[in-house]
Amino acid sequence: MIDLLRSRRSIRRYKAKDIEPEKVELLKEAALRSPTSRGINPWRFFFIRDRKTLEELSRAKESGSSFLKDARLGVVVCAKESESDVWIEDCSIASIIMHLTAHSLGLGSCWIQIRNRMHNASKTSEEYVREVLGLPEDLRVESIIAFGYPDETKPPVPKEELEYGKITSD
């Protein structure tokens, strides 16, 4: 596991190569195996492979989401806020589990924050994603994760650059 953490990086450039269905199924399984508070599982995952829909979703934010149009899979991570007071944490845990699973499968990924972000001056990113996908109002959108075969290489962050000063131990 530590080797996955050492080598995983956010990837924003993807090859024009589809992800094999068996790898997509493993990502689904990983999401559903993610731990949640009190086992409530408030999350919902929308696996999007349609190129037109990915293009539309790539415009969800004013900046920082355009790379989704070149991904071969986007996973919209949502939850029913009424089901759990810690839906944000549960969605975040599931997201990182999918990131690490993707990396273990040779895929790249990158988080696109949607909650508390703006599509434009008058519409939130959440509202925009709900419109594109036709989602109900009671479903909160935390993020979108872009997945694909990496078309860029990033070296691991050197251990000496880690911020050990943010850790206190006795």
The total domain count for the chain is: 1
- Distances from the Cα of 51 to the Cα of 5, 26, 55, 71, angstroms: 30, 21, 6, 9
pTM metric for this prediction = 0.95
Within a domain: 102? yes
Within a domain: 158? no
CATH number at residue 144: 3.40.109.10
Over range 142-156, report the average pLDDT: 97
> Residue 140 sits in which domain range?
2-153
Within a domain: 159? no
Within a domain: 143? yes
Question: pLDDT value at position 1?
Answer: 87
Within a domain: 94? yes
Within a domain: 103? yes
Per the CB < 8 A criterion, the answer to whether 112 and 64 are in contact is yes
| pLDDT cut 70: percent of the chain above it | 100
Over range 106-110, report the average pLDDT: 98
In whole angstroms, what is the distance from residue 39 CA to residue 22 CA?
26
Within a domain: 76? yes
Within a domain: 164? no
